[in-house]
Amino acid sequence: MNYEAELNKELKKRQDIETALNESSIVAITDHRGVIQLVNDKFTELSKYTKEELVGSYHNIVNSGYHSRAFFHNLWKTIGTGKVWKGEIKNKAKDGTYYWVDTTIVPFLNDNGRPYQYIAIRHDITKRKQYEETIKQLAYYDQLTSLPNRHLLREWGNNLEENHMITVFFLDIDRFKSLNDNYGHYAGDVILQKVADRLWRCLRESDFIVREGGDEFIILLDNVYKHEDVEAFAGEIIGQFEKPIYLDHQAIKVTTSIGISINQLQSEYDDRSKAIETFIRKADTAMYHAKKQGGNTYCFNTQSQNYDMERYQQMEHELRFALENDQFTIVYQPFIGLQSGQIVGLESLLRWHSPRLGTVSPVEFIPLLEELGLIIPVGKWILKSVCYQLKAWQDEGIYLQRVSVNVSPVQLRHRDFIKDLKAILTDTKIDPAYLDLELTEGAILNVSESAAVINELQALGVSISIDDFGTGYSSLSYLKQLPINTLKIDKSFIHNLDFDEEVIVNTIITMAQNLNFTVLAEGIESYDQLAYLQSQKCHEGQGFYWSKPVNASAIPKLYNTMKHDQHDALISKH
Ligand code: C2E
Ligand code: MG
Ligand code: MG
């Protein structure tokens, strides 16, 4: 053996020892098996064991269980063959607390080149580690749900094997905005946490989940790509939401819409995060299609959807300037008294004509206005315009029992809603008794909160209708607690009036009459529908049978014909 080389190796070790040692060093010397022979005071201070307890024990007395077996195997392999090992170790003190040490272990070799002793020199890095953990937690994890965020997703992506199939699930909670609006933000947070827990339960170790922000979650499956396997997983997720989420004994039905894209991770390394971005975008697009189907379902990405996504983004862009560019108009559709055949009121309905997209349905753009917060200024504009119009008609001698305005739940919850409405009533000088506000069942879900606003509205003198009744969760008995004037039976019941629907419609009419509500049937298109509703003593109707929504300028003529029309005359036309 080369003596000089051996000597240099020994000297190098001494240097290692010298550089590692300073006054804050934690030092231990063990025999070749790892049995402690000597420790300094710093060691006992940190480990909380006495010297007597330590000397004679195996060094693994301070093991924390944090590191894998492979980690220690590697350490022993290094020092066992006479090499210096450096690394960071998490240890456990006698009192159960953990500490991190930056460690250098130097072996001493006997004449045969075998280690007979090890010296371990350590420094306490617990503070730094905690700091790093916090930073990591803040940078890579969502604070509300403790799920990883997008930054960690990038790291996950970098560790994937190339050519693997990556299936992306993009989830969005259905109507989360209205859950938030109706139950409050604290409840919204709890719902998000519980949703995260349920999703977490579906995952395998190799899968990855991210809270994308808001009510959106992304799940990535590594190498699950067969259609039936992916569908089974989607079914498992949907199944997680069969049971309601409980909030202080209140059961809330939460569902999600899921978009799915199945992709292959090609071997170009540099563009990994870009590739994953694209996979996610495709799943996001498919998610919108699941939404369109009414939610609580999943949808696979297809090529034609990618085109729809562009339209959506364009709509979002155009809507921001629609109000200032005068692209909104308001049309009116009459309410008819079913016994008299006379026009009793009008519903105002918003229309949007975009120069680039053409006429877009409110079913499509109202949710977007709500999401963008634009429903507040647009809603104010509608109220003001309708009130001015009402005043103008009254000045012309056109008197209707009421003109109604649809109010979004987002508006209703806005703190300035009542204040703004008061100002509009004052400015336009109309009698509030002629103004009716249509609220959806969803908007009044949380009775205790909405009751205050609705009572204030009643005190102002405006009347209240419940729109699309029958499609939401409210029961008639609970509406009894609120000062409501009219129930509008949703048009879906009127359109397919077969036996089941008749039972529902009858029940709503009978109970509403007992509670002294006016009942209006929406979406009457045929004489048969009208005749049936008349026979059931439904008070009012609205629908294409009489008129589609029309411009304000067409109302005087409509008013003059329908006012004089006797009901019999009206139906004898058929
Ligand atoms: P809604 O308040 O239930 O309005 C009634 C909808 O039914 C209108 O659709 C109307 O055109 C349509 N309709 C009326 N009669 C018939 C019929 O006989 N058959 C059929 N198939 N449909 C009929 P529109 O104007 O497309 O509005 C859709 C929804 O958009 C409204 O439902 C309402 O929820 C919302 N919306 C419309 N305008 C406004 C608005 O100014 N503000 C707010 N917040 N929402 C609005
Ligand atoms: Mg309405
Ligand atoms: Mg309706």
Distance 363 CA to ligand 1 centre (A): 8
- Please check whether residue 228 lies inside any domain of the structure: yes
Mean pLDDT of 546-571: 79
The ligand that comes nearest to the alpha carbon of residue 494 is 1
- Please check whether residue 309 lies inside any domain of the structure: no
CA 490 to ligand 1: nearest atom: 3
| 290-330 residue pLDDT tens | 998 888 999 999 877 776 777 888 898 999 999 999 999 99
Distance 327 CA to ligand 1 centre (A): 18
CA-atom Rg of the chain in angstroms = 35
CA 544 to ligand 1: nearest atom: 18
Pocket of ligand 1 (CB under 6 A): 333, 349-350, 361-363, 366, 382, 406-408, 438, 467-468, 491, 522-525, 542-544, 549
Cα separation values, 261 from 171, 231, 291, 309, 539, Å: 12, 12, 16, 14, 50
Asked which of 74, 103, 130 is the last residue of a domain, the reply is 130
What is the model's pLDDT at position 76? 95
- Does position 30 have pLDDT exceeding 50, yes or no? yes
Distance 241 CA to ligand 1 centre (A): 30
pTM: 0.58
Q: Do 535 and 443 sit in the same domain of this protein? A: yes
CATH of the domain at 114: 3.30.450.20
Q: Do 295 and 411 sit in the same domain of this protein? A: no
CA 542 to ligand 1: nearest atom: 15
CATH of the domain at 253: 3.30.70.270
- Please check whether residue 339 lies inside any domain of the structure: yes
Is residue 419 classed exposed, middle or buried when 0-12, 13-18 and 19+ CB atoms within 10 A define those classes? exposed
CATH of the domain at 436: 3.20.20.450
Give how many domains the chain has, as a whole number.
3
- Please check whether residue 467 lies inside any domain of the structure: yes
Question: Which strand (E) or helix (H) includes residue 257?
Answer: strand 256-264
Tokens for 554? Answer: 């067409």
Strands laid side by side in the 256-264 sheet: 208-213, 216-222, 165-173, 256-264, 298-300
Distance 243 CA to ligand 2 centre (A): 31
Confidence of residue 569 (pLDDT cuts 50, 70, 90): very low
Distance 467 CA to ligand 3 centre (A): 5
Highest mean pLDDT among 148-162, 265-279, 409-423: 409-423
The overall average pLDDT reported for the chain is 88
Cα separation values, 384 from 91, 388, 411, 435, Å: 69, 6, 14, 11
Instruction: Read off the DSSP letter of residue 475.
Output: -
- Does position 236 have pLDDT exceeding 80, yes or no? yes
| 170-189 residue pLDDT tens | 999 998 988 888 888 889 99
| 418-463 residue pLDDT tens | 999 999 999 999 999 999 999 987 677 655 667 888 999 999 999 9
- Please check whether residue 123 lies inside any domain of the structure: yes
- Does position 573 have pLDDT exceeding 50, yes or no? no
Distance CA 526, CA 524 (A): 6
Distance CA 208, CA 147 (A): 10
Q: Do 428 and 554 sit in the same domain of this protein? A: yes
Q: Do 16 and 97 sit in the same domain of this protein? A: yes
| 185-210 residue pLDDT tens | 889 999 999 999 999 989 988 889 99
Q: Do 425 and 323 sit in the same domain of this protein? A: yes
CA 331 to ligand 1: nearest atom: 25
Contact between 530 and 306 (Cβ < 8 Å): no
Sign for the pseudo-dihedral over CA of 435, 478, 521, 551? positive
- Please check whether residue 137 lies inside any domain of the structure: no
Q: Do 390 and 539 sit in the same domain of this protein? A: yes
Full DSSP string of 31-64: ETT-BEEEE-HHHHHHH---HHHHTTSBGGGGB-
Asked which of 251, 274, 301 is the last residue of a domain, the reply is 301
- Please check whether residue 159 lies inside any domain of the structure: yes
Q: Do 69 and 213 sit in the same domain of this protein? A: no
Q: Do 67 and 116 sit in the same domain of this protein? A: yes
Nearest by Cα to 491 from 431, 427, 558, 541: 541
Q: Do 109 and 255 sit in the same domain of this protein? A: no
Domain span at 451: 314-573
Q: Do 370 and 286 sit in the same domain of this protein? A: no
Q: Do 152 and 126 sit in the same domain of this protein? A: no
Q: Do 33 and 62 sit in the same domain of this protein? A: yes
The amino acid at 288: Y
The 3-class secondary structure across 352-397, one letter per residue, is EEECCCEEECHHHHHHHHHHCCCHHHHHHHHHHHHHHHHHHHHHCC
Asked which of 90, 109, 130 is the last residue of a domain, the reply is 130
- Please check whether residue 138 lies inside any domain of the structure: no
Q: Whose CA is nearest to atom 37 of ligand 1?
A: 349
Nearest by Cα to 488 from 550, 438, 432, 434: 438
Mean pLDDT of 6-22: 74
What is the model's pLDDT at position 156? 80
Contact between 493 and 536 (Cβ < 8 Å): no
